[in-house]
Structure 1
């Protein structure tokens, strides 16, 4: 992995920024990191990846909300099991649509919703911003790689100019 330092710097810097933003605005930090992780795990690049992340994560939130709400109308846990089976099938079947094609993203949104007891007000902003966090990390990494390449080009040009002018570089 040739650009490990650039990735590490952008990920570390923006993770720290995310923690500060999440703390300031009372967002659930780990949910944002799940949105960010979904962005990196899904196969699409650039903002198209953000859209797939949003669609799949939020569809999972919807399915979990449906399970929680639907099973709440019944006195038996059996209906919850049934709703879970139906929603699980639906999360797999919805992958036929391109923007819903990353099945793990749906499960991440679903599991997050269960972990937060269906608290949509705390789930949605952090998941949405988390995808943007991942996208921002790729943008910053690209900028750092560009800076590195320009520096190497400058260094090589300077070294070649010094060598051709007869001045020793040693």
Structure 2
């Protein structure tokens, strides 16, 4: 990976910013990181990737909410198990629709919702902002790569020239 430093700087800086934002606004930090990870794992690029991340993560929230809210009407835990099986099938089948084609995104949204016992008010902001975090990392990385290329062009140097110059000087 040629741009490893730019990726590392971008990811590290924005992860720190996210941590501060999440803390300031009492958001669940790890949910944002899961949404950010969804953004990087799904196949779309740019803002289309953000939309797919939102669609799949939020569909998973919806499916988990169905299980949680429906299970409360029954005394037997087996109803919850059956509903979980039905919802799992639904999350896989919804991938036939191209905007919901990233099945792991739905599972992430579902798992987050189960983990927070359906606390939608704490789930949604972190999922929504987490997808934007991933997109922001890509944008910042692109800017850093562009700056690096301009610097190299300005100085007339490249990594290969530096290595050659250092080797020649040290001989």
TM-score normalised according to structure 1 size: 0.91
Write the deviation string for residues 93-115 of structure 1: whole angstroms up to 9, x where unpaired: 00011110000000000000000
Look up the match of 2:70.
Answer: 70
Structure 2 residues without counterparts, runs of 5 or longer: 158-168
Look up the match of 1:79.
Answer: 79
Look up the match of 1:22.
Answer: 22
- Cα distance, 1:149 vs structure 2: 0.5
Look up the match of 1:40.
Answer: 40
- Cα distance, 1:71 vs structure 2: 1.0
Counterpart Cα distance in 1 of 2:142 and 2:97 = 30
Q: CA RMSD in A?
A: 1.0
Look up the match of 1:97.
Answer: 97
Matches within 5 A, 1:1-170: 1-156=1-156
Which one has a bigger Cα radius of gyration? 1
TM-score normalised according to structure 2 size: 0.91
Q: Give the number of aligned pairs.
A: 158
Structure 1 residues without counterparts, runs of 5 or longer: 158-169
Look up the match of 1:167.
Answer: none
Write the deviation string for residues 111-135 of structure 1: whole angstroms up to 9, x where unpaired: 0000001000000000000000000
Look up the match of 1:163.
Answer: none
- Cα distance, 1:38 vs structure 2: 0.3
